[in-house]
Amino acid sequence: MIFRDLNYSMSLHLLALFYYSCCPFTLNASIIDFQNLVQTDLDLSHQFTFDGQNDQNRLEDKVGHANLTLKPFGSGTISDIEYAKEGYDETSNSISTSRGPGNDFAQGAGLHNALVNLSDQMSFEVIFQPNSEEISGGNFNLGYILNTRVNNDRGYFLIQGNAPLPSTGQQISSTIGDGYAVRNQNLILSQIEAGHWYFVAGSYTINRDTNITTFTNYIADLTNGDTILKKVGPFSNSGGPYPTGGSPLGIGGRWDAGESFPGQIDEINLYDAEKDEVSFQQHLNSITGGNNPFEIIKIAHDINSNTTTIEWNSISGKVYAVDASFDMIEWNELDDGVIGEKDLTSFTDTETSEGKTKKFYRVRKIEE
**pLDDT tens sequence across 333-346:** 999 999 988 778 99
pLDDT above 80 (res 235) = yes
Angle, helices 31-38 vs 277-288, to 10°: value is 150
**Cα 356 to the center of its chain, rounded Å:** 47
pLDDT of residue 365: 87
More confident residue, 7 or 61: 61
pLDDT at 46 over 80: yes
Q: Are the beta carbons of 228 and 315 closer than 8 angstroms?
A: yes
| 75 and 11 part of one domain | no
Residues 135 and 252 occupy one common structural domain: yes
Residues 109 and 164 in one domain: yes
List, for residues 266-317, the tens digit of each pLDDT value: 999 999 999 999 999 999 999 998 767 788 888 988 888 888 999 998 877 7
Q: What is the CATH number of the domain that holds 268?
A: 2.60.120.200
Q: Which domain holds residue 223?
A: 31-288
d(CA 242, CA 113): 17
Q: Is residue 193 helix, strand or coil? A: coil
Predicted pLDDT at 19: 33
Parallel, antiparallel or unpaired: strands 332-339 and 319-325: antiparallel
Same domain, 37 and 132: yes
Domain boundary among the residues 288, 317, 334 is at: 288
- Looking at 288, 321, 345, the residue that finishes a domain is 288
Label residue 4 by pLDDT band (50, 70, 90).
very low
Amino acid (1-letter code) at residue 291: N
User: Residue 282: its pLDDT value, please?
Assistant: 95
Do 226 and 269 share a structural domain?
yes
* pLDDT exceeds cutoff 60 at 8: no
Total domains present in the chain: 2
Verify that 183 and 199 share a domain, yes or no: yes
Q: Are residues 310 and 203 in the same domain?
A: no
State the average pLDDT over residues 255-260: 96
Tell me the percentage of the chain whose pLDDT exceeds 70. Answer: 91
One-letter amino acid of 116? V
What burial class does residue 212 get, using C-beta atoms within 10 Å of its C-beta: 0-12 exposed, 13-18 middle, 19+ buried? middle
pLDDT (0 to 100) of residue 25: 34
Clarify whether residues 260 and 311 are in a common domain: no
Give the pLDDT band of residue 12 (cuts 50, 70, 90): very low
CA atoms within 13 A on the CB side of 141: 20
Query: In the prediction, which pLDDT does 333 show?
Result: 95
pLDDT value of position 202:
98
Position 3 pLDDT exceeds 60: no
300/281 same-domain check: no
Q: What pTM value is reported for the model?
A: 0.77
CA distance 133 to 195: 9
Judged by DSSP in three states, 201 sits in: strand
Output 11 or 161, whichever has higher pLDDT: 161
On whether both 13 and 55 belong to a single domain, the answer is no
d(C-alpha 310, C-alpha 302), whole Å = 12
pLDDT, position 5: 31
The burial of 151, by beta-carbon neighbours within 10 Å (0-12 exposed, 13-18 middle, 19 or more buried), is given as exposed
* pLDDT at position 16: 36
Does 258 share its domain with 333?
A: no
- What's 325's domain CATH number? 2.60.40
Quick one: which of 51, 130, 126 has its CA closest to 83? 51
196 and 172 both lie in a single domain: yes
pLDDT at 28: 57
Q: What pLDDT, on a 0 to 100 scale, did the predictor assign at position 368? A: 62
